[in-house]
Amino acid sequence: MTSMKVASTLDELRESRRSCASPFGLVPTMGALHAGHVALVRRARAECASVGASLFVNPAQFGSNEDLSNYPRTFQRDLELLGATGANVVYTPRAEEVYPPGFQTFVTVDEVSRPLEGASRPGHFRGVATIVAKLFLVFSPDRAYFGQKDAQQVAVIRRMVRDLGFPLTVVVVPTVRERDGLALSSRNAYLSPAERTAAPVLFRALSAAAEAFDRGERSGDWLRATMKSVLSREPLAEPVYVSAADPETLGELGEVAGDVLLSMAVRFGSTRLIDNFLFERGRWETGIREG
Ligand code: AMP
């Protein structure tokens, strides 16, 4: 186990960061860590000489009607997990330090932020891009690790990195899933037992569309209809959107000519889950099943 430094202020972080060997890998998180987050830290550990993580429930990416105050917080356990996985430094700032009084400077990634998650969560990606830009500035990572689980977040951050010229590589790590296919998420903790039983329907719907694609189906409408039809057979599942889109621009596809991102958001009671499969470079990225 490495001895991990916990920095709760910017000054402490700068101090700790100075003594970290290069290349430096960064894993931004909102805490409530699970095996998906651990996969990001492990990958960073394997590819970098030192690894930093952040634990910060970022108020700017939550809408006023969202779960900011109830978002699961397991701070001590998160620190233990990060230490055991080999992080060298963890930044755990207070919101007042990240957003000082009078704060009014935001990063907006226009078009990629608009559809899908952006349409149902206005302002979400402005909050994400702003915190990630701030973390890039304070950590100066050589590599930054994000989960495929949040595919639109990946598209937004890649666009921001290109547009603002951050000198770093974005690394995308496959989605870690439960044995029944449910993608690990801090929000799974909100599901009732019946909702938890129903939740793998996202994976089944994505699988059905991927199978249709593998049989030669290239109509975007057909792929979206295939996912909707599987979801409609699960009474507890209320679809928010289903999408078959260009993975980079996130524009919906009429005909799929090359790569495609199949994605969806589905409500179970008050809990909103997202998931996706990505077809890229001639193969599916569907994630890794645990357990
Ligand atoms: P969060 O704490 O939810 O903001 O997530 C922090 C990072 O972990 C993001 O890059 C997520 O995409 C990633 N992540 C969340 N869930 C998973 C998962 N099941 N598999 C892989 N990465 C994940």
Residues 169 and 193 in one domain: no
Residues 9 and 100 in one domain: yes
Residues 26 and 88 in one domain: yes
Strand partners, 146: 172
37: in domain: yes
179: in domain: no
The number of the ligand 1 atom at minimal distance from the alpha carbon of 37 is 8
Confirm or reject: Cβ of 147 under 6 Å from ligand 1. Answer: yes
Confirm or reject: Cβ of 98 under 6 Å from ligand 1. Answer: no
Of the three residues 145, 173, 201, the one that is the final residue of a domain is 173
Residues 91 and 209 in one domain: no
208: in domain: yes
Which tens digit of pLDDT belongs to each residue from 165-196? Answer: 999 999 999 999 999 999 999 999 999 999 99
Residue to mutate, 27, 29, 30, 286, ligand 1, most ligand atoms under 8 Å from C-beta:
29
Residues 220 and 262 in one domain: yes
* pLDDT beyond 80 at 109: yes
Residues 193 and 166 in one domain: no
CA distance 168 to 141: 7
Residues 199 and 133 in one domain: no
181: in domain: no
Confirm or reject: Cβ of 186 under 6 Å from ligand 1. Answer: yes
pTM above 0.75, yes or no: yes
CB-based contact 153:146 (threshold 8 Å): yes
| Residue of minimum CA distance from atom 13 in ligand 1 | 147
Confirm or reject: Cβ of 40 under 6 Å from ligand 1. Answer: yes
Tell me which residue range forms the domain holding 212.
Answer: 186-289
Q: What is the pLDDT confidence band of residue 2, given thresholds at 50, 70 and 90?
A: low
Of the three residues 173, 204, 223, the one that is the final residue of a domain is 173
Cα(192) to centroid(ligand 1), Å: 22
Residues 164 and 109 in one domain: yes
Quote the tokens at residue 221.
Answer: 């409408």
- Mean pLDDT over residues 234-261, rounded? 98
220: in domain: yes
Nearest in space to 242 (alpha carbons), one of 257, 232, 227, 229: 227
Cα(173) to centroid(ligand 1), Å: 9
Neighbours of 208 (CB within 10 A): 17
110: in domain: yes
Q: What is the pLDDT confidence band of residue 129, given thresholds at 50, 70 and 90?
A: very high
Whose tokens are 């495929």? That residue is 148
How much is the mean pLDDT over the chain?
97
> Which domain CATH number covers 154?
3.40.50.620
Residues 157 and 219 in one domain: no
> Which domain CATH number covers 233?
3.30.1300.10
Q: What pLDDT is stored for residue 290 in this prediction?
A: 87
Cα(146) to centroid(ligand 1), Å: 7
Residues 192 and 132 in one domain: no
180: in domain: no
CA distance 279 to 1: 37
Q: What pLDDT is stored for residue 228 in this prediction?
A: 98
Q: Catalytic residues, which ones? A: 37
Residues 25 and 159 in one domain: yes
Residues 65 and 115 in one domain: yes
What's the number of domains the chain is made of? Answer: 2
Which tens digit of pLDDT belongs to each residue from 15-27? Answer: 999 999 999 999 9
Confirm or reject: Cβ of 184 under 6 Å from ligand 1. Answer: yes
Which tens digit of pLDDT belongs to each residue from 29-43? Answer: 999 999 999 999 999
